[in-house]
Chain A
């Protein structure tokens, strides 16, 4: 007795097939630019000659991780209320340590060690002299000076200064920090500035 299984011929569903093809197309469109971006090397890595000559390097902004190990003196400007840019500004001084601390850990130490100060609400109305005498400016000035002293830095750490500020930070604050850095001549040859979009 012969059994024959009757198989039904299945047809491909055309609209669904088109759907899949379009999804594949979108997928490749999204992934190709990501691959291209990842393959581009930063400029300083591409030209070793420039680092040998110690030419200043800058070019395009580099995207960096939010919580790397702290290797420079980080002057962090935050809003008093993280959600309100008009709430005033706080400055945190984050000092690098031997124990390879992250920004988050060092920020907690800064609160404990009173390395935090608030800019007065009306600091834009102050004269230059009054502004530079505020507690926040004095803290910045003293800490930059202290960081240049080799005894205050972990061994092998260069006297680098980094500014990390919320995007609405007033130019007066950032300019003050840059001016303090340049007051030490070539001791601080470059400054790095980071935008700060997500308060911790």
Chain B
């Protein structure tokens, strides 16, 4: 019986395919090592300790849920006054319900709008280093903290540190609003929104 040795032709390594494979491997390891490194990293925010001596605030932000907030600033005082005038025949409780309902429609915003509003506050604070701003942030106790922390970090990014903030817990349902009339040091009559909190709020 005769065995015949199989003659195998010598094959050249194809340079282009080889390069192709090497680059594929390189890309694979580059992307996977980047993902593996990022998985071990965390985001960190550093900001000043909040102030809890609540009095008056330029901005009031109430979280409704994880996605939306309710923003009140000086501009909202005329809206509140209009509702109170329109529903003057109602009981204070009903007037409050109407006020909250109206502001909830007109002043509700999502995360993107909130970020733009906060940036506007930071820009205004940077343009007026001598003026102090105070923002009161109120969030329902059950909502995850991350959204509030992002807002705090944004406010604290003011160049001159002139935006202070306070945090309280509580939901929109236990807000009570009214209008106060005050005379400022220049003798001008100013309408301010009075906000009272009720219910649990740590």
Contacts and interface: CB of A to CB of B under 8 A. Distances in A.
Interface of A: 12-13, 16-17, 19-20, 23-24, 26-27, 30-31, 34, 55-67, 124, 126-128, 131-132, 164-165, 167-176, 178-179, 181-183, 188-198
13 contacts: A20-B23, A30-B30, A64-B41, A126-B200, A132-B202, A170-B145, A174-B145, A175-B202, A182-B52, A188-B49, A190-B48, A193-B47, A198-B40
A105 B184 CA distance: 57
B44 interface: yes
A58 B141 contact: no
Contacts of B16: 12-13, 16-17, 19-20
Contacts of A13: 14, 16
A175 B169 contact: yes
Contacts, number: 163
Given A13-B14, A31-B30, A172-B202, A195 B43 contact: yes
Contacts of A57: 46
Contacts of B143: 170-171
Contact of A194 (B23, B26, B39, B43): B43
A179 B42 contact: no
B149 to A, nearest CB: 5
Given A20-B19, A30-B31, 18 more contacts: A20-B20, A23-B24, A24-B23, A26-B27, A56-B156, A58-B156, A62-B44, A128-B201, A170-B145, A171-B144, A171-B148, A175-B148, A175-B168, A176-B202, A190-B47, A191-B46, A194-B45, A198-B39
Contacts of B157: 58-60
Given A16-B16, A128-B201, A172-B141, A179 B52 contact: yes
Nearest to B47: A58
